[in-house]
Amino acid sequence: MWTEEYRPKRLDDIVGHDTVVKRLQGFVKERTIPNLVLWGPKGTGKTSLAYALAKELYGEFYDENLMHIETADFVEQGKKWLKENKRFKFFYNEHKSALIIFKEMIREYAALAPINASFKLLFFSNADLLPVNAQQALRRIMERSNKTCRFIFSTTKPAGIIPALRSRCLNLHFRSLDKSGAMELLMRSIADEEGVNITNRGLKTLKEYSRGDAGAAITILEAAATAASSAPTINEQRIEDVAQNAFFQRSKAEELIDLAFEGRYKDLRARLEFLMREERIGGKELLAEIHESLRWKMKRAMTNDESKLFARLVVCEGEADLRLCTSINTMIHIEEMFVNISKAVGPRSL
> Which of the residue ranges 41-45, 285-289, 338-342 would you say has the lowest mean pLDDT?
285-289
Cα angle 339, 322, 246; round to 5: 70
- Domain co-membership, 141 together with 7: yes
Q: Is the pTM of this model over 0.85?
A: no
- Domain co-membership, 8 together with 152: yes
282-324 pLDDT, tens per residue? 777 788 888 877 777 766 655 667 767 877 888 888 888 888 8
- Domain co-membership, 48 together with 139: yes
Which CA distances in Å does 30 have to 26, 69, 118, 167, 312?
7, 26, 12, 22, 49
When divided into structural domains, the chain yields a total of: 3
- Domain co-membership, 151 together with 41: yes
What pLDDT sits at residue 155?
Answer: 94
Closest CA to 75 of 110, 40, 126, 150: 126
Domain boundary among 246, 261, 294: 246
Domain boundary among 246, 279, 294: 246
Mean pLDDT, the chain, integer: 85
- Domain co-membership, 25 together with 102: yes
- Domain co-membership, 25 together with 156: yes
Calpha distance 44→212 (Å, rounded): 7
Inform me whether the pLDDT recorded for 341 exceeds 50. yes
What is the CATH classification number for the domain harbouring 81? Answer: 3.40.50.300
Q: Domain for residue 350, yes or no?
A: no
Domain boundary among 231, 246, 261: 246
Q: Which domain holds residue 264?
A: 248-345
